Structure 1
């Protein structure tokens, strides 16, 4: 293994560790409640090491969100590939979204999809673009043969919001029904609306 390759690989692994530490910290304390000192402490690295990878907190925040959305897009692709019917495809996508809400007072999905002002217009714009691209990806996975992109994007955004809210309520009520029943209910509601809806 060449020295340059080993150095690049180590740098990539270290960057991943920093993003993981930042995700934990941002999720627990929010953007404004997190400092670079806190992230470096959680990652067990010095601040100069952190700044070598990320020059600002907003840049680190963006990296957390982009990695999270990339991972979700991969999971939606796998869910789509595993589906055997239209309803099954919707249910699989609902399952991916439902599982974003973690049990407890903090959730990374809340951090990502509730991303607010960070004081850096460039970063805020890139986050907004990434979120819009994710909704487009979800719309494509839900309706791969649909030729009305604006309609499917609206439906995908609605399903995303509804599923996150429902999952949050499911956890709050201490899982009053099984996860399977919850997913069937949400997917059934969505598919029923598609049948009843017009252009």
Structure 2
């Protein structure tokens, strides 16, 4: 962002939702570059092209801003998972779609997935709660689908859902860090095939 752009933005009044989105985008950039502890509200305001009072009108402090940003990333991941589950009624397609949701989340914005899966502020209760929701909400969505389609009781369906979520997010992070020579499609297929052999082979879709 150029200095002229920042100056121009300071004189523009945006609707509250747009301003909030602008501030979160600026915070993401600063947190990604500096880490939480070294990030300063002054710099976030400067990157966003607003005064500090404007920033503090939306977020009382740096931790509030961090948690709001983290929550937005968690919402995005959960939405990706739910969209994948709703994209088809065939479990053979649902498994790779769900695995792919995690790969897409990890590869589309490295700063987002690191905040969710590698946050260094887990000692903060609100941060830990948001991080836990990334897993629990995904597991809930998958559990509901497996229970309905495979006819399993909730405890068994939840265990399978936990396995699929854990496998997907760990595999996606490992792929991003170590195997970018392997295409996203190949990595998703390998992970999904492993998951499908367990879910599809042992728990076929029940008759309607």
Normalising by structure 1, we get a TM-score of 0.77
Q: CA deviation at 1:95?
A: 0.7
| Unaligned stretches of 5+ residues in structure 2 | 1-12, 204-208
1:11 aligns with 2:12: no
TM superposition outliers: structure 1 runs of 4+ over 4 Å: none
Measured in 1, the distance between the counterparts of 2:142 and 2:89 equals 18
Q: Structure 1 residues 51, 96: closer, same or farther in 2, change over 3 A?
A: same
CA contact (8 A) 2:30 2:43 kept: yes
Q: How does 1:17-32 map to 2 (within 5 A)?
A: 17-32=22-37
1:114 equivalent in structure 2? 118
Q: CA deviation at 1:39?
A: 1.6
| Unaligned stretches of 5+ residues in structure 1 | 1-6
Measured in 2, the distance between the counterparts of 1:149 and 1:31 equals 38
Larger gyration radius, structure 1 or structure 2:
2
CA contact (8 A) 1:31 1:118 kept: no
The number of residue pairs the alignment matches comes to 188
1:96 equivalent in structure 2? 101
Normalising by structure 2, we get a TM-score of 0.74
Q: Structure 1 residues 118, 125: closer, same or farther in 2, change over 3 A?
A: closer
Q: What is the Cα-based RMSD across aligned positions, in Å? A: 2.9
Higher helix share: 2
Measured in 2, the distance between the counterparts of 1:12 and 1:88 equals 36
